[in-house]
Amino acid sequence: MALPKVIGANHTITLTTGKKARVVLLNNAATTPPFEKTLKEVNHFLQTYGALHRGAGPHANITFLKIQDALNSIRKFLNLPESHTLLFTQNTSAAINLFARLLRLKKSDVIITSSIEHTSNNLPWRYNTEAQVVEVIAHEDGSIDYVDLEDKSAKHGQNLKLITMTGASNQTGYIPDIQRLSKIAHKYNALLLIDAAQLAPHRKIDMKQDGVDALAFSAHKVYAPFGIGVLALPKSKLNTIPPDPCGGSIDMISETNIIWAPPQERHQTGTWNVAGIIALAASCQAIMSASWQEIEKHERELVKYMAERLPKVPKITMYVPPEKYLTENRTGTFPFNLAGIHHAQLASILEHEYGIETRAGTNCNHRLVRRWFNISDVEQRQIEKQIAKGNRLASYGIVRASLAIHNTRQDIDLLLSALTEIAKNGSKLKYKAVPHEEIFVPITKTK
């Protein structure tokens, strides 16, 4: 069966150099374009869009029925247990922040996470709960030290309430053993939350079989960029006052009393982003119809192709050993640099001279990137002072190319060819730094 097609994979533009080129989509870890089927489904749905839970009428009824079908598709995509439900937020970050506030943990409670988490699975636990945050050792290739996890779980077992880990690293493609994480958490009657923002587009999720208690991900990572995030969690966690009470939270309010809506309704307040839910369900259905077996086979072949060839580029530095991609279960996320070229400038060269989309910076995984550059505390303080003054280019960073379902070997060849040419001959254009925006921009069409 053919893999789903995306919008924009064959888009041609005129480069700053004047040449025409097809845009090469290699920033999929940041966001993915919509499937053609998803956009078609949304456009069809909008012909009969009505007020969900906010009125009566033919379109309102059609919308209600379509949302029920959409919810069932998303539940199937996650293999969500009957004991669990879905809440929709803005994105993964908002979902994790919401879950952190829903738990209402105390100072004596303990949360275990890792030292290489995306900031979306780091900051919420430090600013939305009083619990103690304990970090498990992680290695420079992004992998978790399970011995350290076992030791720290045992040490804090009596107070351990949550283990929260990435399902797939946004920086290294590392995928932990989720069933193993679940067994450790449940051994101490703790919950397991998986940040699945990078996992959901690349691997089949099975919350029931893997023992995942809660999970968060974003639709824009799953070929449905219509502005929603998903929090899958136990229904039992919703029988509480909502952290964000507003329209829809209550059945009745008076000067002296509040009657809250049923638990599964009081937390999903206001008018739902129904187009976003329809889009996500369409993308989930497209992935399931194509089959995870075919998707994983396609992406693993691309990862192997990239891992075998990227190290051969002159002056390249790869921050994850290539053999990790060849021998382990990793997604196609490759951080690298070229010697002598600032990471942000390299990304700009790829953009303006070759039409290749990547991402440059620390990519919300600052501490792991710092380890790659062996930055001392003294150097870190100096860098932070420059950033505080507006020079965001003072930071260390990498360029990240990330593969997805729509990529091909030709996309990889175009990246490798561009990097090789840049390494040998430099850029065709001159660039100037824009420190406050953390970018470089071309200033002329000739050297």
Sheet holding 110-114, edge to edge: 84-89, 229-234, 214-218, 191-195, 160-166, 110-114, 132-136
| Domains of the chain: residue spans and CATH | 12-33+291-444 (3.90.1150.10), 38-288 (3.40.640.10)
Provide the pLDDT for residue 249.
63
- Please report, in angstroms and rounded to a whole number, the separation of the first and last CA atoms in the chain: 48
Q: How far is CA 392 from the centre of its chain?
A: 23
* Dihedrals phi, psi of 365, to nearest 5 degrees: -135, 55
Provide the pLDDT for residue 240.
84
Using CA atoms, how far apart are residues 49 and 66, in angstroms rounded to an integer? Answer: 10
Provide the pLDDT for residue 21.
97
Provide the pLDDT for residue 52.
73
232, 331, 39, 195: CA torsion to nearest 10: 20
Provide the pLDDT for residue 258.
76
**pLDDT below 70 — which residues of the chain?**
1, 54, 246-256, 260, 444-447
Provide the pLDDT for residue 248.
61
Provide the pLDDT for residue 303.
98
Provide the pLDDT for residue 446.
47
Q: What is the 3-state secondary structure (H, E, C) of the chain?
A: CCCCCECCCCCEEECCCCCEEECEECECCCCCCCEHHHHHHHHHHHCCCCCCCCCCCHHHHHHHHHHHHHHHHHHHHHCCCCCEEEEEECCHHHHHHHHHHHHCCCCCCEEEEECCCCHHHCHHHHHCCCCEEEEECECCCCCECHHHHHHHHHHCCCCEEEEEEECCCCCCCECCCHHHHHHHHHHCCCEEEEECCCCCCCCCCCHHHHCCCEEEEEHHHCCCCCCCEEEEEEHHHHCCCCCCCCCCCEEEECCCCEEECCHHHHCCCCCCCHHHHHHHHHHHHHHHHHCHHHHHHHHHHHHHHHHHHHHHCCCEEECCCHHHHHHCCECCEEEEEECCCCHHHHHHHHHHHHCEECEEECCCCHHHHHHHHCCCHHHHHHHHHHHHCCCHHHCCCEEEEECCCCCCHHHHHHHHHHHHHHHHHCCCCEEEEEHHHCEEEEEECCC
Nearest to 230 by CA among 277, 191, 192: 277
Provide the pLDDT for residue 447.
45
Beta bridge partners of 116: none
